[in-house]
Amino acid sequence: MFINLVNNIAFLIALVAVGQLVISRFQRNTPGRQLMLGVLFGCVTLLGMVNPVNFAPGLIFDGRSIVLSLAGLVGGGVVGAIAAGMAAAYRYQLGGIGAPVGALVILQSALLGVLARQWFMRRGALPGAMHYLLLGVLVQLAQLGAFALIPNRAGHPFIEQAWWVLLFFYPLAFMFLCLSFQHHAQQRVDRLALQNAQKALTAEEHASMQRFHAYFDHSIVGLAITSLEKGWLEVNDALCNTLGYSRAELTHMTWTELTYPDDLAPDMAQFNRMLAGEIDSYAMDKRFVHKDGHPVHTRLAVSNVRKADGSVDYVVAMVEDISEQKISSLALERREKQLRFVLAGSALGFWDWDIVTGTVDRNEQWAEMLGYTPEEIKHTTRQWTDFIHPDDRERAWSSVNAVLEGGSAIHRLEYRMLHKDGSVRWILDQASVMQRDQDGKPMRMCGTHTDITERKQDELELRRHRHHLQELVAAQTRDLVIAKDAAEAANRAKSAFLANMSHELRTPMNGVMGMIELARRRMVDPRGIDQLGKAKHAAERLLRVLNDILDLSKIEADRMMLEETPLQLRDSVDGVAGTLGHVAAGKDLELHIDLPEDVAGAALKGDSLRLGQILLNLVGNAIKFTERGGVTLRVRAVGETREALQVRFEVSDTGLGIDAEAKGRLFQSFEQADNSMTRRYGGTGLGLAICKSLVRLMGGEIGVDSVPGEGSMFWFVVPLKKREPGMLLQEMPCPGLLVEARLRSQYAGSRILLVEDEPITQEIARSLLENVNLSVDIAENGQQALDKARCNAYALILMDMQMPVMNGIDAAGAIRSDSLNRTTPILAMTANAFDEDRQHCLDGGMNDHIAKPVDPGKLYETLLQWLVAGGEKANA
Ligand code: ADP
């Protein structure tokens, strides 16, 4: 029995070997493998059953339970079913009483193996030796149970004899078989994993190689693999482009051949260190030489690749072309150098404030300006604040802040900073924000410092000077004001004196001339008439001198005013001829007038009285200083504008002439060509000076051309304004005798109020008025005049100005406002003979002004004019 058992065990071992072979052959659990395994397990079972332990006739015992449960466990359901089918079929064929139980044992063993397999797989963990042992025991218990089912208890003796074999040895054998299969399966799994890992590794290596080549070949950076002997083994296109060689050319060269000579030594030094194992890699900027000869700036990174034994195998180099960067950085460097040079030359302090980091970069001049070395300057804004004069800090910061906040574009401020030596320096600080972020927040601000201390000192000095000058000017102005006040006071005094003098001289002259006139009118004795005529002539001369002196005084006091009334040159020239014609004739001189018709009749305006005065003076002189020949008055228009006619007057004579030396002096006051003249011809030397002043006042020029012994030609040119069409010329008065006749015939008995306080003047005036049959009422002052005017209506009132009680102006005003004579002509008759006096009278409501000394002819003319006017108004 034991021998058969050993046989069975031997089959089992063979089973393990063959089973494992099958399992190894078929890597995957294919139906073929299942079939093979099923048949194998079936055959092994059959072999065991061929040589069983024959326990009793028809009762056999073998190792089928172990093989079939193993088949179910190792091969699964299909394998178990095939093996069990084969075994069951064979057992039936053997027959005997044990055939059904034998088939039952076959089926239950295979089934238990399959179920255990399912359970282990569901559990997930590998079963251990104990699991297999327990499974073996369970299979054998099932077998023992089956044996008990054999009819007639035929199986019982077997159970009693073999139970210990079944329950001890069979499970152990089953366990070892299981472990062996498990071990084999594990080995197979490990081998497969190893194979897979190796495959994966090879694939990865391949992919990695491909990636490397893709990178190597298409990299935009130059790459090379070089030998330890510095030859280029492999190069990529980028490197070829950088150096200008083809791959074929480069791989036959060494990198030392193509290195720029100056850069070879440092590169070799590093390379050798790497070969010596001191370093594994190095990087540097170096130059290669391009195929066409120009240097190529590159950034080189070199590293070695070691063999397994640690020695260097080959070298990998990365060559980046940085020519463009280099060129732009060189240009930048050059620009920065230039800028620094300019800043150094211009002595400008420069500052660059990185607002984000808070650091400030400043140049040497910035520090030197304040007496510091650059090393003493900290890169902070704090130090700037500290250097500013305490009084200027707030001002400086608020200017900077205004720019930072965008309130103003430029920070431009002059303020004081403290020098290291304690002195104060004036700085002009100019800056602006150079960079802002997307939100407009300032990031960088740059500016310059200019030392303007000297300029400031100059300004201060200038201000001091200006101040001093202003004080001086103020002092001088004060003096001038005092002097001006004094001059004005003197001028006022002079004017007052002039007016008084005029009044005081004219009043007695009026008496003298009036009385002479009255006496002459009554005189019948021819000698008396002649004497009175001479007295009158002398008085007239005296009056002319008096008028000249007063004129000159007025001119000098700047009080000479010119009138602007209608003017006709024919009248002016006729007036001269009328006045001086008989004088020329008296000296047997011809007075020739040369006045073209168009000029004579031109409608002009100006001061005809003063024009006449100039002409009378010049023609008078010409007659005076000419003994033979004649005098010519020539008038020409020499220019014309829209507003005025430029008229030239020439008075030439055939007299004694004037020498060149005297010509310069003649137009000055009191100057005569020769002092002996005074004795011979008389004269004051004032005439030409007055002429010159009047011509100047008219805006013209005066001069003289003369040849001594042959004669002189005095000339003057004045602009005379053109008259507007509506401006009427005053009618020429009637000749004197006619006037008197008209007064007597037409106005005899007309009541005239004569207002005069001075008795002599009163007498003269009354006589002259009564002489033409006018009826005269006398008032001795303004008040009396007003009283009379309130009671009587007068044809005309003659009014003195200066009177006691009430003066002429006040009286005229009162008469105009409250009397019977509101419209009666009132004529001032006064020794106040200046133009402003005349204007004063007209402004005071009077109609006209007769200057004393009174010229009877002039008085009658004026009386007639106003009596006519008054009569017309009364009739109207
Ligand atoms: P007066 O004639 O009163 O002396 P003027 O000023 O009119 O003053 O003249 C000044 C001087 O000019 C005269 O004294 C005379 O010497 C000189 N003079 C003026 N006109 C002539 C002239 N036509 N011929 C020569 N000398 C003249």
CB 41 within 8 A of CB 65: no
| CA 543 to centroid of ligand 1, rounded, Å | 19
CA distance 581 to 171: 190
| CA 657 to centroid of ligand 1, rounded, Å | 10
Per-residue pLDDT tens digits for 736-795 = 567 888 888 888 888 999 999 888 889 988 988 998 889 999 999 999 999 999 999 999
| CA 685 to centroid of ligand 1, rounded, Å | 7
| Burial of 799 per CB tally in 10 Å (0-12, 13-18, 19+) | buried
State the pLDDT at residue 593: 94
State the pLDDT at residue 833: 77
| CA 605 to centroid of ligand 1, rounded, Å | 29
Ligand 1: nearest atom to the Cα of 621: 20
CB 88 within 8 A of CB 105: no
Ligand 1: nearest atom to the Cα of 714: 23
Mention every residue, 6+ apart, whose C-beta is less than 8 A from residue 745. Answer: none
CA 791 from centroid of its chain's CA atoms: 86
| CA 702 to centroid of ligand 1, rounded, Å | 14
CA distance 623 to 631: 7
CA distance 477 to 484: 10
Pocket mutation for ligand 1, best pick of 632, 654, 666, 679 (most atoms within 8 Å of C-beta): 666
| CA 624 to centroid of ligand 1, rounded, Å | 8
Based on C-alpha coordinates, what's the Rg of the chain? 76
| CA 692 to centroid of ligand 1, rounded, Å | 13
Pocket mutation for ligand 1, best pick of 544, 625, 650 (most atoms within 8 Å of C-beta): 625
Which stretches of the chain drop beneath a pLDDT of 50? none
| CA 709 to centroid of ligand 1, rounded, Å | 14
| CA 552 to centroid of ligand 1, rounded, Å | 16
As for ligand 1, residues whose beta carbon falls within 6 Å of it are: 617, 621-622, 625, 653, 655-656, 658, 666, 672-674, 677, 683-688, 712
Pocket mutation for ligand 1, best pick of 672, 679, 713 (most atoms within 8 Å of C-beta): 672
Atom 11 in ligand 1: which residue has the minimum CA distance?
Answer: 672
| CA 786 to centroid of ligand 1, rounded, Å | 50
| CA 591 to centroid of ligand 1, rounded, Å | 18
Q: Which residue type occupies 748? A: A
Query: What is the DSSP secondary-structure string of 76-92?
Result: -HHHHHHHHHHHHHHHH
| Strand order from edge to edge, sheet including 349-354 | 359-362, 349-354, 442-451, 424-436, 411-418
Ligand 1: nearest atom to the Cα of 684: 3
User: What DSSP designation does 700 have?
Assistant: -
CB 656 within 8 A of CB 715: no
CA-to-CA dists, residue 343 to 410, 433, 448, 842, angstroms: 20, 19, 9, 82
Atom 9 in ligand 1: which residue has the minimum CA distance?
Answer: 685
Atom 3 in ligand 1: which residue has the minimum CA distance?
Answer: 683
CA distance 574 to 857: 18
Atom 22 in ligand 1: which residue has the minimum CA distance?
Answer: 622
State the pLDDT at residue 182: 85
The two three-digit tokens of residue 581, written as one number: 């014609």
Ligand 1: nearest atom to the Cα of 674: 16
CA distance 239 to 289: 12
Torsion angle in degrees (nearest 10) through CA of 693, 697, 700, 704: -10
- Closest by alpha carbon to 451, among 368, 516, 534, 393? 368
CB 369 within 8 A of CB 425: yes
| CA 546 to centroid of ligand 1, rounded, Å | 18
Torsion angle in degrees (nearest 10) through CA of 16, 22, 23, 25: 140
State the pLDDT at residue 511: 84
